[in-house]
Structure 1
Amino acid sequence: MIKKINPVYTQNRELSWLKFNERVLEEAEDETVPLYERLKFLAIFNSNLDEFYMIRVGSLYDLSLENTLKFDNKSFLTPSQQLEKIFAATKVLYKKRAVLSAKLERACNAAGIQRKKSGRLGKTEQSFVKDYFQTQIFPLLSPLVINVRHPFPHLINKALYIAVSLKEKKNNILGIIPIPQNLPKLLYLPGRKTKYILLEDIVLHYAEKIFNLYDVEKKAIISVTRNADISLDDEEFELGEDYLQHMRKSLKKRGKLAAVRMEINGETSPSMLNYLIEHLNIKKEQIFFCRTPINLSYLLSFAEKLTVEQKALFMYPPFTSSNKCSIPQNTGMIEYIRHKDLLLNYPYQSFDLFLKLIKEAVYDDSVFAIKITIYRIGKRKAKLIQLLAIAAELGKEVTVLMELRARFDEANNISWAEMLQDAGCKVIYGIEGYKVHAKICLIMRRENSKIEYITQIGTGNYNAQTASLYTDLALFTTSDDIGLDAVQFFQNMGTDNLHGNYNSLLSAPNSLKPDLIRLIHEERDRAINGQISHILLKMNSLTDRELIDALAEASQAGVKIKMIIRGICCIKPGIKDKTDNIKVINIVGRFLEHSRIFCFGSGENTKIYISSADWMTRNTEHRVEIACPIYDADLKETIYQSMLIMWRDTVKARKLNADGNYEKLSAKLPRFDSQTFFLKQYTE
C-alpha cells in the first residue's frame, strides 16, 4: 500500500534553500551591519550560490537525464521542473544582487575604497596598469582562436575567461583568454586613496591588443560552473583499490563534469552566445548575465587594507572567545569533568578549552586510549592533529575515524590522514556508502583498576577556525552509559556495523529517525490526553518527509512546536488544520548558527539532545550521526534557556510564513539580538 503524501504543508527543498540564501543577501542590505561585514555577506551569498549549483543543481541535472520519472516528495516536481524553477528564481536573485552591489560600491567609494574600470583611469593610473599588463600579465596569457586547428578548450570549473567575438573576413570566430589563476585577483592603484582594478577587467580592456590580427566585435568575462557531486566508483573500490588513491582520482574528475551554469559579464554577440551554448551543452535558461563581478571573493581581502580607524568603523568589534568556563581556576579539565558534566558554547567560549583537555589526556599516565571522529579540520596547522600524533608517539592507543568525503575538504583530510598514520595512529575511514558525520571523542583512563570514560560529543567539527565563527555546543561527560556507548560506537565503525544498538545515544542510520518519531509521538499523545506538550528544536535544515509528517501530526493533536531553522525548511508553518501549532524562525547574524538541539516536553521531564544531525534524509538514512542526551539538570536548564533567548530575537530573526517566505518581525517589538546577548554574557 502506497502511503498518501500531502503536499499542502511542504515546499521544495531547493527553492527553500534559495530563500535562505536570499536571507544572507538581506544581511548585506542591512545598513546597521558594518560596511565590511556587509561585503562579506555579499561574498558569502555568492560562494553559497556557487556551491549550490555545483552540488544540488548538478545532482538534479544528473537525475533529469535519467529515463525514469522521479518526483520530489515535498513539492511533487520532477528534476526538470525543479531546475526550471531554480533558474527562474536565480535570475531574480541576480537582479537583487546587482542593485545591492551598486549600492555597496557607492558606500565603499564614500569610505575611500574605490573600484575603477579601465575606461575611467587617470593618466598615472593608465600608465601603471599598462606597465603591469605588459610585464606581469601578458607573458602569462594563453589566448586561443577557436578554429579547425584549435578546438574549443575545456573551461575549468569557476575559472574566469575572456570570450571575444572576432571578425575574420566575412566570418565570425571565437577567441578565448584564460585569466591567469596565479596572479592576485585585483591590482591596487597608486595614490593616497585605496583604489583598485580587477585582473579580469585589465585583460578585457587589452583584448584588442591580444587579438590584434582581428576586429573585435564583442567581448565579455565568462565563467562556467560544473557539476561537482562525485559518487564513489563502488566496483573499482571493491576490486581492492586503496581508498586514499580512490579519493584522489575522484577529486581530479571534479573539474571535468557537465556544465550546469554559465555566467557572463559584458557584451556578447548572438553567434558567440550560440557557440558557447552548443559547445557547453547547456540551455539559455542556464545562462546568467551579471552586472557585478562574477567572482566576489576579492571583497574579503579588503580587511588587510583598512586602517585601524576604518576597521573600527567598518568591521564588527573584535572579540576573543572566552577561556572561562565553570571549571574553577587551577583545576584540571579531567579532574573537573570526572565529577561534573561540562558544556561549552562556541564561539563564545574558546575551542582551546577542548584542546586543553586533549593535551591533559596526552600527558596523563592514566589515559591509555583516545578515539575521535574527524570530518572537517581545515587547511591550517591543526593543534589537534599534533596532539594526537604526540599521544601515539607516547604509546597511547589513538584511533582516528577520518571521513575523507567531507565535501570540498577531501584533499585536506587525505593529507591529515597520512600524517596521523606516519605518527603511529590507527586511522580508519568509516563505512562504505555512509559518511561519518558524528562528532565524538572518547578518552579512556584506568584509575584504581577501573576504566573511566570521558566522552565529548558536539554539534560541530573539531576545527579551531570554524569554532570561532559557528555557534556549536560541546558536551563533556563521564557518564558510564554514554562512555560505553562511545566504546561500542568505535567498535561498530571498525567492523562496518551500522546497526548496533546503544543505551543512551540515538544513532543514524539505524535508530535516530525512529527514536525522534517516538519522541514526537510521546508529545502528541500527551496533547491528546490533555497534558501540556511542547517541542522546541534548532537545526540547520528540515527536509525529511517522515519527520515533517510526524511534526504535522503532533501539531494537529495540539502540540506547541517552535523551531529555529537556519537554512532549508520544507515544512510550511501555520497551515490551517495541518501545521497550526508550528512556528518557525530563521536567524542569520554575525555567527553561523550551526548547533542542533532537540527538546521534547517541558519542566523537569524535558528530554534534551544535542546532535551532529540535521533532520534531512541524507543525515537520518545515509550518514552515521549521533544525538546525545543531556542528563545533567543544570546543563539541561542552561540549554533550554539559551533556546528561549534565541526565540526572543527580533533583530536577526525572521518569521517563516505559511507561503514559505520569510518576514521581518514587527518593528514595534523591543530590539533584541540573541548573538549580541551571548557575546556579552560570555565575554564580559
Structure 2
Amino acid sequence: MPKSKKNVNDQIDLTNPKYYLNRELSWLEFNSKVLHEACDPRTPLLERLKFLAIFCSNLDEFFMVRVAALKQQVEAKVSKLTFDGRTPQQQLDEISFALRPLVTQHNQHFEQVLRPELAKHGVHILDYIDLSEQQRNYLNNYFEEQIFPVITPLAVDRSHPFPYISNLSLNLAVVIKNPETEQEFFARVKVPKVLPRFIPLPSDLSSNRNGKSIVWTGVPLEQAIAHNLEYLFPGMNIQEYHPFRITRDADLELEEDEADDLLLAIEQELRKRRVGGTPVRLELQSQTPEIIRNRLLQDLNLSDSDVYQVEGLLGLRDLMYFLSLPLPELKDQPWRSVVHPRLQVLREPNTGSGLLKLDEGQDIFSVIREKDLLVHHPYQSFSRSVVRFITDSAHDPDVLAIKMTLYRTSGDSPIVDALIAAAENGKQVSVLVELKARFDEENNIYWARRLESVGVHVVYGLVGLKTHSKIVMVVRREKERIRRYVHIGTGNYNPKTARLYTDLGLFSCREDLGADLTDLFNYLTGYSRQKSYRQLLVAPVNMRDRFMNLIYREIENTQKGLSGRIVAKMNSLIDPQIITALYEASRAGVKIDLIVRGTCCLRPGLKNVSENISVISIVGRFLEHSRIFYFYNNGHEEIYFGSADWMPRNLDRRVEAITPIQDSDLAKDLQEILGMMLADNRQAWELQSDGSYIQRRPGDCPEAVSQKILMSMALGSAAIPPNLISPKQNSFSPDS
C-alpha cells in the first residue's frame, strides 16, 4: 500500500482518540435528526407522527442490541477502550446523559403539540377520564366482550413469584387491597399485543367538537383495561395502577463453529429471544410512586440508571396506527415509482403455461444486452425492474440457472414465488438465504424451508460471516453460446422496503462481471477461496485493500501537484483504518465530501487533520440506503456502488459486493445523484467537529430538496434549481 509523504503526516498521531467520535453517541445524533423531523412544522402532521414512532422504534432496537452489548461488557469487567477512548461504562453513562433530554422532548412534543394538533383535524386520542358516560358504557361492554377474555392477571406474593415480563411489552403494575384484612397485594397485568393499541369509538359516540367533523375518536387500550380492573380482581379494592414497559437484550448468541445444523441452531436461539434476555431498560410514567418503581427495579434486577421516565403514553412506536387514517392532506403526497424509460418497451408476459411468451426483442434480456441498465429506487419501479428480471428468468425457456443472495425479503415476496416457479420449471436454482439477518431470522428460516421443499439448492451462508451482498446471476442459452446476466444492488430484495429506501441496482451482461459473480457464488456455496476478482470489490477478500489503495492514489496525485477528490455516500462511517486514511488524504490536500446518513465517527473540520473534509447527513421521507463511492483519479474518474458501508463488520465480517460503473452515462447519473445530495439545503445536516449537526436552511436561495428533485426527474418534470450544480455538466474536480 503506498504511503503518503512524511512531511504530510509527521508530528501528529492520527490514531489519537481525540480525532474520533463515539459510535453510540453518533447514532443518538442521527436519531435526534429523526426526532427533529417529527418536531418540524414543515413536515405534514401525520408524517410527524410517523417520525415520532420511528424514533421510538429505533431506540428500542438500540437498547436491545447496542446498550445490551455494553452492559454485558460491563458485567464481564471489560475495560478495553474503544478507538475514541471510552470504556463500556463511560459509554453507558454518556448515552444516558445524552438520551434523557431527547426522550423528554419526544414525549412532550406528542402530548403538548401533536396531540392537540391532531384534535384540530378531527383525530381525538382521548384519556378515559375525559369520556362521557355513554362512551364509558361502550368501552365497558367492549372490555367485557373483547379484552377481558384475553387478559391474565398475575399476582405477586410468596406463592406467586414475580412473573416473566416479555420484551417490549406494555404492562400495568396494580396495587389491590383486601377489604376484609386491609392487606395490600401487588399484581401485574400485561396489555395484550394481539389487540389494537388504540380503541376507536363508534361514529355515533364521536360527536362533533367545536363544529368540526370527527375523523377518529378513541382511547389507548391500557386505559380501557385500567378502568375495568375490578373485573380482574372481583371482591378486591383497586388502590392504584401504573403503566410500565421493559426492553430486553434481543441479540442472538450463536456459536456457529459448534453448530451441526445452522438452521436448527438459529431456531433454538429464536425461541430464547421470544422469551427474551436480560432486562436493559425500564420505562415508567413520571408520576409512578417510588415504592412501585423500586419494586420493579428489584424484581427486574435493574438500577436507577436504567429507568426512563416520561410524561404521558408509553410505547409511542404504536402511533404508526394513525398513518392509515383517510387524511391525505396531512401526509406526504403519494409517490408511485415510475418504470425506467428503457423498460417501458417491455410487453406484459404471458406466463399461464409456465413459459415466458414475448415477441423477439421485447424481453428484458434484450434491453440489458443493448447496454448496462441502472435503476434508482424508489424513484424507479422495483417491481418492474428487479422483480420483472427474476420473474421473467423463472419462466424463460432459455434460462438454465438462477443464483441469488437473500438477506431480507418481504413476507409475501414475489421474488421467492418466482424462484419456486423457476425450480418447478426445471431450472437450476441456487439461493443463499442469510439466516443471521438480525430480526429477520424467523422470516428467512420460513423462506429457506419453502424453497428447499420445491428443490431449490439453499445455502445458509459461511461460518463467521454474514452474507450481505445483493446479487443475482441468470445463466441463459442464446443460440450457440451461454450468456450470464447479473444484477448488483445496494438494497435488499424486498418489494416493501424498496418503496421506502433509496437504493441502486445495476443490470449487466458484461463478461467480466458475469465471471466475477460466478466466482463469488462458488465462494459462497462451495469451498472456493477466490482471492482476486476482475472488477468486483468483494469483502472480506479484496475490498478493504482496494478502498485503501483508491484513497492513497488520491493522496499521491495531490502530492504530485495534481488534483485529489473523493465523494462517498453511505449509511455509516466507523472503520478506524478508513478514517485515518481519509485524514491523511485531507492533510495532503484531497477535497473530500461525505454523505453519511447515520453513524459517523470521523470528525470533520479539525485544524491540520480534517480541514478538507465535510460531512452531511440527509434525513427525509425516504431512508437514504444507497452506497456510492467516487474518486477523481486525476480526471480519469472512477465511481462504484454496492452493499457495503465503511464499517469493520462490512469490510471484515460480511460478504459484500461493490461494482465499478464503466458506462460513462451511468457514471454521470451517479455523479448527478451525489451532486443533488451535496446541494440539498432542506433535509441535509452538516456534521460539526464536536459531533453535533446543524441543519441547512435555504436562506435567500431556492429550496433544493434532493429527494423531491429526484421524484420530479423520474416523472420527467424536473427543473434542477439554479443553485444546484449538476455534475453531468460539472465534474467533481476540485478545480470546477
> Aligned partners of 1:235, 1:83: CA distance in 2, in Å?
31
How far does residue 281 in structure 1 lie from its aligned partner after superposition?
A: 1.1
Find the counterpart in structure 1 of residue 450 from structure 2. Answer: 419
Match of 1:297 among 282, 306, 317: 317
Which AA in structure 1 matches 2:279?
A
SS in 2 for 1:407: coil
Find the counterpart in structure 1 of residue 335 from structure 2. Answer: 319
**Deviation digits for residues 515-549 of structure 1 (CA, Å, limit 9, x no counterpart):** 11111111111111111110000000001111111
How far does residue 568 in structure 1 lie from its aligned partner after superposition?
A: 0.4
Deviates further, 572-581 or 173-182: 173-182
Match of 1:367 among 395, 399, 403: 399
How far does residue 214 in structure 1 lie from its aligned partner after superposition?
A: 4.9
Match of 1:129 among 139, 143, 156: 139
How far does residue 514 in structure 1 lie from its aligned partner after superposition?
A: 1.4
Asked whether the equivalents of residues 434 and 624 of structure 1 are also in contact (C-alpha less than 8 Å), the reply is yes
Which AA in structure 2 matches 1:672?
A
Asked whether the equivalents of residues 52 and 317 of structure 2 are also in contact (C-alpha less than 8 Å), the reply is no
How far does residue 553 in structure 1 lie from its aligned partner after superposition?
A: 0.8
Whether 1:182 aligns to 2:214 is no
Which AA in structure 2 matches 1:321?
S
Find the counterpart in structure 2 of residue 609 from structure 1. Answer: 640
How far does residue 301 in structure 1 lie from its aligned partner after superposition?
A: 2.1
Find the counterpart in structure 1 of residue 4 from structure 2. Answer: none
Pairs aligned (count): 673
> Aligned partners of 2:76, 2:286: CA distance in 1, in Å?
35
Asked whether the equivalents of residues 492 and 500 of structure 1 are also in contact (C-alpha less than 8 Å), the reply is no
> Aligned partners of 1:580, 1:570: CA distance in 2, in Å?
16
Question: Structure 2 vs 1, CA of residues 454 and 110 (structure 1 numbering), >3 Å: closer, same or farther?
Answer: same
Find the counterpart in structure 2 of residue 265 from structure 1. Answer: 285
SS in 2 for 1:368: strand
> Aligned partners of 2:41, 2:528: CA distance in 1, in Å?
52
Asked whether the equivalents of residues 165 and 269 of structure 1 are also in contact (C-alpha less than 8 Å), the reply is no
> Aligned partners of 1:486, 1:524: CA distance in 2, in Å?
31
> Aligned partners of 2:529, 2:90: CA distance in 1, in Å?
35
Find the counterpart in structure 1 of residue 515 from structure 2. Answer: 484
Find the counterpart in structure 2 of residue 408 from structure 1. Answer: 439
> Aligned partners of 1:607, 1:49: CA distance in 2, in Å?
38
Asked whether the equivalents of residues 378 and 409 of structure 1 are also in contact (C-alpha less than 8 Å), the reply is no
> Aligned partners of 1:579, 1:605: CA distance in 2, in Å?
25
**Deviation digits for residues 41-67 of structure 1 (CA, Å, limit 9, x no counterpart):** 111111011011101111111111113
Question: Structure 2 vs 1, CA of residues 496 and 301 (structure 1 numbering), >3 Å: closer, same or farther?
Answer: farther
Find the counterpart in structure 1 of residue 224 from structure 2. Answer: 202
Find the counterpart in structure 2 of residue 46 from structure 1. Answer: 56
> Aligned partners of 1:223, 1:316: CA distance in 2, in Å?
31
Match of 1:26 among 23, 36, 44: 36
Whether 1:69 aligns to 2:100 is no
> Aligned partners of 1:94, 1:498: CA distance in 2, in Å?
48
Find the counterpart in structure 1 of residue 420 from structure 2. Answer: 389
**Deviation digits for residues 601-659 of structure 1 (CA, Å, limit 9, x no counterpart):** 16751111111011111111111111111111110011011110111100111111111
Find the counterpart in structure 2 of residue 356 from structure 1. Answer: 388
> Aligned partners of 2:165, 2:529: CA distance in 1, in Å?
41
**Deviation digits for residues 408-427 of structure 1 (CA, Å, limit 9, x no counterpart):** 11111111111111121111
**Deviation digits for residues 147-182 of structure 1 (CA, Å, limit 9, x no counterpart):** 111100110000111012345667654211111222
Q: How does 1:440-519 map to 2 (within 5 A)?
A: 440-497=471-528, 500-519=531-550
How far does residue 213 in structure 1 lie from its aligned partner after superposition?
A: 5.0
> Aligned partners of 2:529, 2:94: CA distance in 1, in Å?
37
Which AA in structure 2 matches 1:291?
E
> Aligned partners of 1:172, 1:85: CA distance in 2, in Å?
39
**Deviation digits for residues 383-416 of structure 1 (CA, Å, limit 9, x no counterpart):** 1111111111111111001001111111111111
Find the counterpart in structure 2 of residue 228 from structure 1. Answer: 250
Find the counterpart in structure 2 of residue 645 from structure 1. Answer: 676
Deviates further, 86-95 or 36-45: 86-95
**Deviation digits for residues 2-50 of structure 1 (CA, Å, limit 9, x no counterpart):** x972122211100100110000011111111111111111111110110
> Aligned partners of 1:480, 1:244: CA distance in 2, in Å?
35
Find the counterpart in structure 1 of residue 731 from structure 2. Answer: none
Find the counterpart in structure 2 of residue 86 from structure 1. Answer: 95
SS in 1 for 2:18: coil
Find the counterpart in structure 2 of residue 57 from structure 1. Answer: 67
Match of 2:308 among 276, 288, 292: 288
**Deviation digits for residues 112-131 of structure 1 (CA, Å, limit 9, x no counterpart):** 10111111101211111111
How far does residue 480 in structure 1 lie from its aligned partner after superposition?
A: 1.0
Whether 1:145 aligns to 2:177 is no
Whether 1:680 aligns to 2:733 is no
User: TM-score normalized by structure 2?
Assistant: 0.89
> Aligned partners of 2:634, 2:417: CA distance in 1, in Å?
43
Asked whether the equivalents of residues 455 and 483 of structure 1 are also in contact (C-alpha less than 8 Å), the reply is yes
SS in 2 for 1:610: strand
Asked whether the equivalents of residues 170 and 244 of structure 2 are also in contact (C-alpha less than 8 Å), the reply is yes
> Aligned partners of 2:137, 2:177: CA distance in 1, in Å?
29
Whether 1:277 aligns to 2:297 is yes
Which AA in structure 1 matches 2:302?
I
Which AA in structure 2 matches 1:82?
Q
> Aligned partners of 2:638, 2:566: CA distance in 1, in Å?
10
SS in 2 for 1:624: strand
Asked whether the equivalents of residues 682 and 698 of structure 2 are also in contact (C-alpha less than 8 Å), the reply is no
> Aligned partners of 2:627, 2:256: CA distance in 1, in Å?
32
Asked whether the equivalents of residues 395 and 421 of structure 2 are also in contact (C-alpha less than 8 Å), the reply is no
Whether 1:634 aligns to 2:665 is yes
Find the counterpart in structure 2 of residue 100 from structure 1. Answer: 109
How far does residue 359 in structure 1 lie from its aligned partner after superposition?
A: 2.6
SS in 1 for 2:342: coil
> Aligned partners of 2:115, 2:633: CA distance in 1, in Å?
49
Asked whether the equivalents of residues 218 and 268 of structure 1 are also in contact (C-alpha less than 8 Å), the reply is no
Find the counterpart in structure 1 of residue 628 from structure 2. Answer: 597
Asked whether the equivalents of residues 151 and 190 of structure 2 are also in contact (C-alpha less than 8 Å), the reply is yes
Question: Structure 2 vs 1, CA of residues 361 and 604 (structure 1 numbering), >3 Å: closer, same or farther?
Answer: farther
> Aligned partners of 1:212, 1:284: CA distance in 2, in Å?
34
Which segments of 5 or more consecutive residues in structure 2 lack a partner in the other structure?
A: 1-12, 208-213, 347-361, 717-736
Which segments of 5 or more consecutive residues in structure 1 lack a partner in the other structure?
A: none
Question: Structure 2 vs 1, CA of residues 635 and 478 (structure 1 numbering), >3 Å: closer, same or farther?
Answer: same
Which AA in structure 2 matches 1:624?
V
How far does residue 235 in structure 1 lie from its aligned partner after superposition?
A: 5.7
Asked whether the equivalents of residues 164 and 176 of structure 1 are also in contact (C-alpha less than 8 Å), the reply is yes
> Aligned partners of 2:658, 2:33: CA distance in 1, in Å?
28
> Aligned partners of 1:235, 1:215: CA distance in 2, in Å?
56
> Aligned partners of 1:233, 1:154: CA distance in 2, in Å?
26
Deviates further, 222-231 or 353-362: 353-362
> Aligned partners of 1:440, 1:317: CA distance in 2, in Å?
32
Which AA in structure 2 matches 1:128?
Y
SS in 2 for 1:8: helix
Find the counterpart in structure 2 of residue 670 from structure 1. Answer: 702
Whether 1:249 aligns to 2:265 is no
Asked whether the equivalents of residues 520 and 550 of structure 1 are also in contact (C-alpha less than 8 Å), the reply is yes
Which AA in structure 1 matches 2:267?
R
Asked whether the equivalents of residues 340 and 375 of structure 2 are also in contact (C-alpha less than 8 Å), the reply is no
Deviates further, 158-167 or 78-87: 158-167
Asked whether the equivalents of residues 50 and 323 of structure 2 are also in contact (C-alpha less than 8 Å), the reply is no
**Deviation digits for residues 404-461 of structure 1 (CA, Å, limit 9, x no counterpart):** 1111111111111111111211110110121100000001122233221111100000
How far does residue 296 in structure 1 lie from its aligned partner after superposition?
A: 2.2
> Aligned partners of 1:454, 1:560: CA distance in 2, in Å?
37
Asked whether the equivalents of residues 257 and 463 of structure 2 are also in contact (C-alpha less than 8 Å), the reply is no
Find the counterpart in structure 1 of residue 350 from structure 2. Answer: none
Q: How does 1:157-196 map to 2 (within 5 A)?
A: 157-166=167-176, 173-190=185-202, 191-192=206-207, 193=214, 194-196=216-218
> Aligned partners of 1:420, 1:373: CA distance in 2, in Å?
13
Find the counterpart in structure 1 of residue 654 from structure 2. Answer: 623
